[in-house]
Amino acid sequence: MLGCESKEERNQQTISHTLQEASTAKNTLGPALDKKQVRNANLFTEYGKVLRQHKPQVSEIAQIFSQDCTSS
């Protein structure tokens, strides 16, 4: 019964549920990135490539930027 639970118990249940949802989302994101199914990640990856070619002085940043768009 909802009325019999303390606020702390409800908060703990909410936290537990949110952690489960976050874990599911994280587990779904990796394969989606690997399959290039995340549009923004694809755009950022391509932008990183262009940035490395045209602005070599920021190539390390561009590499990190592109790497963040993968599950590796």
Task: Tell me the residue range of the domain where 52 lies.
Answer: 8-67
What Rg do the C-alpha atoms of the chain give, in angstroms?
20
Residue 63: its H or E element: helix 59-67
* 59 domain-assigned: yes
In a domain, residue 41? The reply is yes
Does some domain include residue 72? no
pLDDT over 70 at 63, yes or no: yes
Once rounded to an integer, what is the mean pLDDT over residues 37-49? 89
Mean pLDDT value across residues 21-33: 92
The answer to whether position 2 is within a domain reads no
Q: What is the pLDDT of residue 50?
A: 92
**1 belongs to a structural domain:** no
Threshold 0.95, pTM exceeds: no
pLDDT attached to residue 8? 92
The per-residue pLDDT of the chain, averaged, comes to 89
The alpha carbon dihedral of 40, 43, 49, 54 has a sign of negative
d(CA 36, CA 51) in angstroms, rounded, equals: 20
Kindly tell me if the per-residue pLDDT of 10 is higher than 60. Answer: yes
Tell me, yes or no, whether 3 lies in a domain. no
In a domain, 44, yes or no: yes
Number of domains in the chain: 1
Is residue 23 a part of any domain in this protein?
yes
Count CA within 13 A, CB hemisphere, residue 65: 17
